[in-house]
Amino acid sequence: MSKLTLTTEGDTHVVVTRRFAAPPEAVYRAHTDPKLVQQWLLGPEGWTMPVCVCEARPGGKIRYEWTNPRKGSFYVTGEFLELVPYSKIVHVERMHLPDPTPDNHVETRFDPDGTGTRMTMRMTLPDAKTRAAMLATGMERGMEASYVRLESMI
């Protein structure tokens, strides 16, 4: 029921969907309140987010800094473009490694689904190469591998 889907779409998109048991209002808050974001947006085990700036208004700044005692640290900056409580967030973000990556334009929608929420996050990268590099970054962060079949993405 809560299974995540991750698909590439066309040349430049990555689409992620996930269902949550909580209503859109709660899921939206968890994406826009820095105190909450800081608790879950951590990636693989071992990382913490000591700095979390999340100014949820159009033009508001985003800055997430992650650190891992064994793997170092890196950060993401961005800006909010559009917010529709409790259904839509549009923002851009870039990773600093330390050079900034091209902007990732992200539209996140929260739709009511029974008593829960269906989230659809659509990322748009400037081109196919950038999308590949963005996906590759996940690997460099030392995530563990598990095997998925090619059929799931084509």
Of 124, 51, 137, whose CA–CA distance to 93 is shortest? 124
Among the residue ranges 33-41, 53-61, 74-82, 97-105, the one whose residues contact another protein (CB under 8 A): 33-41
Task: Tell me: does residue 1 bind another protein (CB under 8 A).
Answer: no
Closer CB to another protein, 59 or 74, in the complex: 74
Task: Tell me: does residue 99 bind another protein (CB under 8 A).
Answer: no
**Where is 126: in which H helix or E strand?**
none
CB of 145 closer than 8 Å to CB of 103:
no
Tell me the C-alpha to C-alpha distance, in Å, between residue 67 and each of 33, 125, 137.
20, 25, 15
Residues numbered 39 to 78 that lie near another protein (CB under 8 A) are 39-45
Per-residue contact flags (x/-) with another protein for residues 108 to 137, judged by CB under 8 A: --------------------xx-xxx-xx-
